[in-house]
Chains A and B, each alone.
Chain A
């Protein structure tokens, strides 16, 4: 579980996060939504430890990040997996090399043990015959699956995803969403996803937080988001005609 306690983050005069407090539970897919410039990416980078908040703190399963020594912070980092928006695969390495990289860096496993683990996670993300291909030789959807495989290869406690569906066709996007949800439940990890994709919200949003101007505007589940009367949330989530109709149908069904 991750507890976020009243974090503030500024860059120069720009006050990006103005006091966000929330919790992300274990074994659940937690979604962060909000308009561009609302502070989602900065918030996610604070969760990853890439940005240090000026005020407030982040607690990972009872451990306050700010209180950890450098070695403890490094150990905590190794318990985190991250799927970047553009996959961020290493161009110079094959798919197998990319997934094996964290194992080579941080474990003392033999080559065959590492290979077995890589085969297992690549199989888990349904990538069987891509071991020796380079990232430039595979599709965007496959790159995302490799990124997920790399993120889970160390059995992380926390999985962070930044726009995992961006640039993917709707069908592949759903496959990626389902894969993330399945992995979250299977490995019992705390997953936090930064997304703009309302399909993801409806599909896998077990907990959703809505950021607006650096503040937590709303939080709830995917069912609660249908019923909310928060104007900022409804304007954002139901900005398209399709989702307006979906909401109307849901409300009619409930009545």
Chain B
């Protein structure tokens, strides 16, 4: 019953976010600030993880190719498919649920605890629009981060494959180009955009409606991460079935 009430509250929150907009002059600066906080400040960790995961995918594929009849260029093919279809959009989104999600919950939760949200409400500001809308807009740039993740992941696979002596650069590139389906990129970006909305809104919900003190802010951040991850995993299944099934 509590879960149903939370889903209802979440839906009401989303409706409120798009009502009574804040002045564009103020909103514009908030959006730029959030793009910096949510997207640019995450690029370092995204690039680091993408590179090494791409490298590990290539090595694992190479080590499991024991049959001499299977061409080595399959390593490039497997790296591309893994990175584009699942690793970049889904795995990175779960990492972002931790990094960006906990930042969103704790920053909004701290504003709740220190009565800053009450101060906004008393002034007549639509606090949900002021706090959550810029985050949603900033997260529209998340596909750019995922595009970088795809590129760096495949580059990591190439580095590990070629410099690890598993295949030649030509083989890797041949594998990358084999049976390429452009729609897979579209599928990945559709997923990414939906996950971006989830990453912006579920942690905001947990921060905005939290009650208590500093300890509860920490608990809300953890809960937000768990629920954001669960929703991403479930949506990943549904979207894969709908778009590729």
| Interfacial residues of chain B within 105-138, with CB under 8 A of chain A in the complex | 110, 114-116, 118-119, 121-125
Q: Which residues of A contact B23 (CB under 8 A)?
A: 104-105
Q: Which residues of A contact B116 (CB under 8 A)?
A: 88-91
Contact B114 A86 (CB under 8 A): yes
A140 close to chain B: CB less than 8 A: no
Q: Are A102 and B123 also in contact (CB < 8 A) when A88-B114, A88-B116 are? A: yes
- Contact partner of B26 (CB less than 8 A), chosen from A48, A91, A104, is A104
Residue of B110, B118, B122 most packed against chain A (CB within 10 A): B122
A77 close to chain B: CB less than 8 A: yes
Contact A84 B115 (CB under 8 A): yes
Question: Taking the nearest CB of chain B, how far is it from the CB of A162, in angstroms?
Answer: 8
Q: Which residues of B contact A77 (CB under 8 A)?
A: 122-124
Taken together as a complex, chains A and B put the C-alpha atoms of A105 and B20 apart, in Å, by: 12
A171 close to chain B: CB less than 8 A: no
Contact A74 B124 (CB under 8 A): yes
Contact B22 A105 (CB under 8 A): yes
Per-position 1/0 for A60-84, Cβ under 8 A of B:
0000000000000111011010101
Question: Taking the nearest CB of chain A, how far is it from the CB of B27, in angstroms?
Answer: 11
| Interfacial residues of chain A within 156-185, with CB under 8 A of chain B in the complex | 160
Taken together as a complex, chains A and B put the C-alpha atoms of A80 and B25 apart, in Å, by: 24
Q: Which residues of A contact B125 (CB under 8 A)?
A: 105
Taken together as a complex, chains A and B put the C-alpha atoms of A73 and B126 apart, in Å, by: 13
Taken together as a complex, chains A and B put the C-alpha atoms of A49 and B123 apart, in Å, by: 11
Give the size category of A's interface with B: 20 to 34
| Interfacial residues of chain B within 69-97, with CB under 8 A of chain A in the complex | none
Q: Which residues of A contact B121 (CB under 8 A)?
A: 50
Contact B124 A50 (CB under 8 A): no
Taken together as a complex, chains A and B put the C-alpha atoms of A104 and B124 apart, in Å, by: 13
Q: Who on chain A is nearest to B124 by CB?
A: A77
Q: Which residues of B contact A160 (CB under 8 A)?
A: 122
- Contact partner of B115 (CB less than 8 A), chosen from A73, A88, A101, A105, is A88
A85 close to chain B: CB less than 8 A: yes
Per-position 1/0 for B9-41, Cβ under 8 A of A:
000000000000011011000000000000000
Q: Which residues of B contact A74 (CB under 8 A)?
A: 124
Question: Taking the nearest CB of chain B, how far is it from the CB of A118, in angstroms?
Answer: 15
Contact A78 B25 (CB under 8 A): no
Q: Who on chain B is nearest to A147 by CB?
A: B119
Question: Taking the nearest CB of chain A, how far is it from the CB of B16, in angstroms?
Answer: 13
Q: Which residues of B contact A105 (CB under 8 A)?
A: 22-23, 26, 123, 125
- List residues of chain A with CB under 8 Å of any chain B CB: 48-50, 73-75, 77-78, 80, 82, 84-86, 88-91, 101-102, 104-106, 160
- List residues of chain B with CB under 8 Å of any chain A CB: 22-23, 25-26, 110, 114-116, 118-119, 121-125
14 extra interface residue pairs, beta carbon distance < 8 Å, beyond A75-B124, A89-B116, A106-B124: A48-B122, A74-B124, A77-B124, A82-B118, A82-B122, A86-B114, A86-B115, A88-B116, A88-B119, A90-B119, A101-B123, A104-B25, A105-B23, A106-B123
The 5 A-B pairs at the shortest CB distance, nearest first, are namely: A77-B124, A88-B115, A88-B119, A82-B122, A74-B124
| A-B residue pairs in contact (CB < 8 Å), sample of 30 | A49-B122, A50-B121, A50-B122, A73-B124, A74-B124, A75-B124, A77-B123, A78-B123, A82-B118, A82-B119, A82-B122, A84-B115, A85-B115, A86-B114, A88-B115, A88-B116, A88-B118, A88-B119, A90-B119, A91-B110, A91-B116, A101-B123, A102-B123, A104-B23, A104-B25, A105-B26, A105-B123, A105-B125, A106-B123, A160-B122
